[in-house]
Every structure is written in C-alpha cells, then in structure tokens.
C-alpha cells in the first residue's frame, strides 16, 4: 500500500477527514495528506499511504493552482464565506482594467500576512483559537511566491481568477488584500484547488468513487507510485554494487562527472551535476531505490531516503 491517491475533497470535509477515511477503507495506518484545504474549499488533496508518507515534504513544497471566486464590496472576519460580514462598500466604480492591474501587483515574491483564522501558530497557539476567543493579535508577514494570477471571468461584483502559487500562500489573504487595495473590501466566495504538484483535478477521485473502488477491490488502479511526485528531478540508473551502497546508506563518490563505487559507475545525466541538490535513483530493473542528495563539499551523493 505504498503510493498516493489523488482525491477531490468535497465542501464541508477537512483534509484530515479524507486521511481518516482512507485509513479506514485501506487498513493502512501510515497515511497523511500533502497540503491542507479549508473545509469550505474543494479540490485536489493528495493522500499518501505507507512509505509514500516519506515524500510528503516534497509534495508540500510543490506548486499549486487554484480557481478562486472573489466578491468585491464585502469583507468578512475569516476572509472567506464561512465568516461574519464586517464591512460593506460599493464596488460599482471598479472596472476590469483597475481590477486586473491590482491583481497583477500580487504576482512574484510578496509579503503576506496570514489570516487570524488560520493554523499558523503564535507563541505555541494556533491563531484560529485566539480568533474564536475574540482575540486579535499582530501577525508577522511571510514571504510567499505567486507565479501567476489570471482573470478568467468578471461578473461584477464577482471576479473569478486562476492563481498559481508556491507553498504557504493563503488565497483568502489575496482576496482580502485585493479588497483593501481597491478600497471596497473583498472576500473569498469560493475556492477550488485545480492542481497540486503533478496531481490534477481532472484525474481526481470523488469520495463516492473512492469508496466504490475500495469496496469493489479495484482501488489499486488509482494508486500513484511513490516517485510520481519526483519526476521533475534528474534520475540515475545504478548497477547492483552501487544499489547495495545506496541501500546501506553509504555515500557515492563523484569522479569526472560520474558517481562511482568500486568498479560500478552510475554515470548520471548532465542535469544531475554537482549543482543539482537531489536526484532519483533506480536499479537496473527500474525499481525506485530512493532519493539521493549531493554533498558539494565532499563531492558525494548521499542517500537521503531509501525506499527498498
């Protein structure tokens, strides 16, 4: 049961609810999700099982794509539809050009203040617990990366945008900050995660499909291999001796652009040069062995995670 399920989370369920469901259906105790979605949001939540839980950290770092409906003229305390309305203003004078220009200002590396209703911890306590107690505290801004913001529909006062971003980006905060920048307020009316790393919503399983697949014994057809998350990295194919070294956690020396242990040459492709931080390793049968990390000072490839 080592692999990843691409699940389309329904509204009202938490990401942890999906993990609990998969554990119950599969009987696999080792399971975890790669990227929390708010309960009101829907879309892609990858759930990793077995040894695939060891690559969650790489999937969390993956680029994500969202489709967000943002309503102008209203602000809520949670920055989304689950909250209480705290402001109302007219947005009638906001045109598409001003809207697009303001949205574009959120592209690139930006400093973002997380919402009070979030899991970010301050002095050991999640912010949402303080918010529920009626306590608002100053929050430190964090650097996040927004790769692209594109308007796909504009039906005033609601604008629909596709947002491609990196780890830790709060789409709710983008909606709120957009409203502040326009001077009319705004909140996130609806959110769908379209993509998380290599996992696309078009290939995802609904909860009903997931349950049917488990009950009728064909769920393995939907289990993605552990290394599917890492396919954008360079790869090495190693011989038996080097494979044994990797499995035992021994470093592999790099000589004249190739990794060698004894007489066994790994010969990595050009992309797996010393400037590369990590690569995938496979044996001659095509079996995924693990993740190697390059140590520049020692000029060695070191096994970081071994999967066989």
The answer to whether 79 touches 186, Cβ cutoff 8 Å, is no
Q: What angle do CA 117, 118, 123 make, to 5 degrees?
A: 105
Distance (Å) of CA 67 to CA 43, 130, 149? 10, 29, 10
Strands 235-237 and 278-282: parallel
> 38 catalytic, yes or no?
yes
Compute the distance between CA of residue 238 and CA of residue 289 in angstroms, rounded to an integer: 9
In the set 8, 38, 80, 177, the catalytic residue is 38
Tokens coding 231: 């396919």
Which residues are known catalytic residues? 38
């Amino acid at each position: 049961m080592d692999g990843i399920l691409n699940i389309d989370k329904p509204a009202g369920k938490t990401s942890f609810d999906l993990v609990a469901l998969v554990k119950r259906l599969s009987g696999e105790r080792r399971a975890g999700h790669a990227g929390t979605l708010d309960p009101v949001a829907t879309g892609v939540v990858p759930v990793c099982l077995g040894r695939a839980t060891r690559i969650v950290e790489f999937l969390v770092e993956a680029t994500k794509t969202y489709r967000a409906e943002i309503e102008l003229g209203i602000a809520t305390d949670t920055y989304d539809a689950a909250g209480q309305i705290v402001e109302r203003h007219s947005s009638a004078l906001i045109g598409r050009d001003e809207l697009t220009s303001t949205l574009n200002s959120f592209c690139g590396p930006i400093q973002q203040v997380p919402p009070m209703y979030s899991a970010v911890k301050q002095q050991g306590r999640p912010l949402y617990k303080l918010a529920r107690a009626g306590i608002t505290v100053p929050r430190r801004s964090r650097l996040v990366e927004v790769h692209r913001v594109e308007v796909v529909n504009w039906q005033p006062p609601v604008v629909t945008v596709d947002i491609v971003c990196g780890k830790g980006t709060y789409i709710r905060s983008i909606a709120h900050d957009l409203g502040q920048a326009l001077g009319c307020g705004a909140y996130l009316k609806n959110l769908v995660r379209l993509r998380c790393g290599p996992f696309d919503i078009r290939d995802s399983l609904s909860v009903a499909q997931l349950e049917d697949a488990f009950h009728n014994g064909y769920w393995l057809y939907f289990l993605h291999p552990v290394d599917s998350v890492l396919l954008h990295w360079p790869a090495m194919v190693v011989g038996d001796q080097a494979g044994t070294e990797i499995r035992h956690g021994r470093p592999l020396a790099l000589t004249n652009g190739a990794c060698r242990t004894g007489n066994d040459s790994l010969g990595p492709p050009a992309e797996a040069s010393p400037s590369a931080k990590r690569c995938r390793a496979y044996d001659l049968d095509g079996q995924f062995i693990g993740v190697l990390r390059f140590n520049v000072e020692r000029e060695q490839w070191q096994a970081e995670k071994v999967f066989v």
